[in-house]
Amino acid sequence: MSTSPSSFDPLWMFRGPLGGDVMQRIATSWLSPSLTVNYAGDPAVEDRVVKEVASYGKQLGWLTEIALAQARGQPLPEATLERLEKAAGEITLIKKQLRASALEAAKSALDRLERDDPAQYKNLLRDRQGHQ
């Protein structure tokens, strides 16, 4: 029996969580969790590479295919080499973009610190010059 918000249901307190009409969007990210990796390199670079270029499995597959062909004295698989070269180019571009982005963020943070707390700004610059 379907109930509406205006209908009376004397047994409402005995219904289980899914005991009535249920309309709810369910986020499925927990059904297919993504891989969490402790990156050896820059996590921002690694994350973008996996999302935009190729998964670790694909990259490893390409390298394995090339290594096996070389070990067996077979011709290198041209299509795989092309995929690997394309990925290398895309990864280089991602690194350049993130490097530029990090520099801009650092400049912005320094400008904000200089404006909001000139004494701390001077201390930071003095500390950084001492590390060189």
**Alpha helices (H) in 53-117, listed in sequence order:** 56-71, 78-116
- Which of the four pLDDT bands, split at 50, 70 and 90, describes residue 44? confident
Let me know: does 91 contact 112? Beta carbons within 8 Å: no
83 contact partners, CB below 8 Å, separation of at least 6: 54, 62
- Tens of pLDDT along 4-23? 555 676 666 666 655 555 55
pTM of the model: 0.55
Q: Residue 93 in 3-state DSSP?
A: helix
- Tens of pLDDT along 71-104? 999 999 999 999 999 999 999 999 999 888 888 8
- Angstrom distances, CA of residue 54 to CA of 46, 67, 78, 122: 10, 18, 18, 44
124 contact partners, CB below 8 Å, separation of at least 6: 110, 113
